[in-house]
Every structure is written in structure tokens, then in C-alpha cells.
């Protein structure tokens, strides 16, 4: 029988921003955005896995540490009522898909960023910022003027990116993650 061996608590920040005018994101040569379509489900899942499986969030959300789990996450998200195709983009690079962002509409009128990931070898070139701005423009096309996201407090690169784009901490949360034994 499976039992909970221990529980770890991860500090997370809920961050929010008003979406001002969003400049059209500029991508380096050889990169392009691909709009959401169901045919891209596996490509999004593969980039999710590549971006997250060695990162802190794979401990917080174990599905992100597993290719099949990442695919299940994508499928679940796209079936939810608030899923926003307009704010969900795949980033294509010279070697194939290298970034993903997914957006949802929350009931209180916020656009919510679900996951943003850039594959490790493509980081530090402004692609994360460009992909987020592309999602923000999608929120705006849907009439949403504010955005929200959650981030693990230890995730310094992501927090720096979000602060640069105007996000500020609105709430601190603790996510309990059980570790199972007896499987």
C-alpha cells in the first residue's frame, strides 16, 4: 500500500501585472512563433519536459519531470474551460521547437500564464521575454488587461524576468508536495 513518507513545502509567489501597451516582440533571426493547434500538443509537451525536468518546478509539480506527465498536463490544460488558444504559443528555433507558453482566462478577468519554458540551450537571448509578450498580446486580443502567474520563490531567473515585465508579488503561498513510499 502506498503511504505518504514525508511532505515538502515550497514557497511560491502569486505575481500580477497590468498589461500596458505591448510592443510586438522581436525574435532573433531563425526563430518564429507558432499559434496553438491541437496538432502541436506533443511538441508543446516535449518542450515543457525539456525546459522543466531539471528545474525546481519538477519537484513542485512532478508531472513536469516526466515526458508522459508533461503530455498529460498539456491535455488537461487544453480541455479546461478557461484555456486560451490566443495566449498559447510554441517557439520554433533553428533546431525545432524550443519554447512554450500557455495561457488561461481566470474567472475574475485576469489572464493567467500557466507555464513558460525555454529549452536550456536557448536561454539568455531574450526568447523568454518575447514569448511572454506574445502571450500578453493574446490576452489583450481577448480583452484582458491584467495578468497573473505563480512562481516558486527559489526560481530566481523566472522572478527576474517577471519583475522586468512589471509583475509584482501579490501573495505568498506554500505548496505541499507529498513524497510517497510503498509503490
Ligand X SMILES: CC(C)(COP(=O)(O)OP(=O)(O)OC[C@H]1O[C@@H](n2cnc3c(N)ncnc32)[C@H](O)[C@@H]1OP(=O)(O)O)[C@@H](O)C(=O)NCCC(=O)NCCS
Q: Which residues bind ligand X (CB under 6 A)?
A: 51-52, 55, 57, 116-118, 123-129, 151, 155, 157-158, 160-161
Shortest distance, position 1 Cβ to ligand X, whole Å: 34
- 110: which residues sit within 8 A by CB, 6+ positions away? 16, 144, 146, 147, 148
> Which DSSP string do the residues of 37-69 spell out, in sequence order?
-GGGHHHHHHHHHHHHTTSTHHHHSGGGGSHHH
Residue nearest to ligand X (CB): 128
By C-beta, is 95 or 124 nearer to ligand X?
Answer: 124
Contact (Cβ atoms closer than 8 angstroms) between residue 78 and residue 41:
yes
Helix, strand or coil for residue 116? strand
By C-beta, is 27 or 158 nearer to ligand X?
Answer: 158
By C-beta, is 174 or 183 nearer to ligand X?
Answer: 174
Shortest distance, position 56 Cβ to ligand X, whole Å: 7
Shortest distance, position 58 Cβ to ligand X, whole Å: 9
Q: Say how many C-beta atoms besides its own lie within 10 A of residue 56's C-beta.
A: 16
By C-beta, is 98 or 144 nearer to ligand X?
Answer: 98
Shortest distance, position 2 Cβ to ligand X, whole Å: 28
The CA–CA distances, whole Å, from 133 to 67, 82, 126, 176 equal 26, 19, 11, 31
By C-beta, is 141 or 160 nearer to ligand X?
Answer: 160
Shortest distance, position 99 Cβ to ligand X, whole Å: 7
Amino acid at each position: 500500500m502506498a503511504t505518504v513518507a514525508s511532505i515538502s513545502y515550497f514557497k511560491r509567489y502569486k505575481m500580477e501585472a497590468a498589461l500596458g501597451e505591448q510592443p510586438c516582440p522581436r525574435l532573433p533571426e531563425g526563430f518564429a512563433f507558432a499559434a496553438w493547434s491541437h496538432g502541436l500538443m506533443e511538441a508543446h509537451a516535449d518542450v515543457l519536459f525539456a525546459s522543466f525536468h531539471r528545474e525546481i518546478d519538477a519537484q513542485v509539480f512532478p508531472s513536469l519531470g516526466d515526458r508522459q506527465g508533461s503530455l498529460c498536463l498539456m491535455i488537461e490544460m487544453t480541455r479546461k474551460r478557461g484555456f486560451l488558444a490566443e495566449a498559447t504559443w510554441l517557439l520554433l528555433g533553428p533546431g525545432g521547437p524550443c519554447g512554450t507558453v500557455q495561457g488561461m482566462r481566470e474567472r475574475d478577468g485576469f489572464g493567467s500564464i500557466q507555464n513558460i519554458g525555454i529549452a536550456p540551450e536557448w536561454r539568455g537571448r531574450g526568447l523568454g521575454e518575447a514569448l511572454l509578450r506574445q502571450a500578453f498580446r493574446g490576452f489583450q486580443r481577448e480583452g484582458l488587461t491584467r495578468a497573473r502567474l505563480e512562481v516558486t520563490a527559489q526560481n530566481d531567473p523566472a522572478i527576474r524576468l517577471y519583475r522586468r515585465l512589471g509583475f509584482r508579488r501579490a501573495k505568498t503561498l506554500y505548496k505541499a508536495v507529498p513524497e510517497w513510499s510503498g509503490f
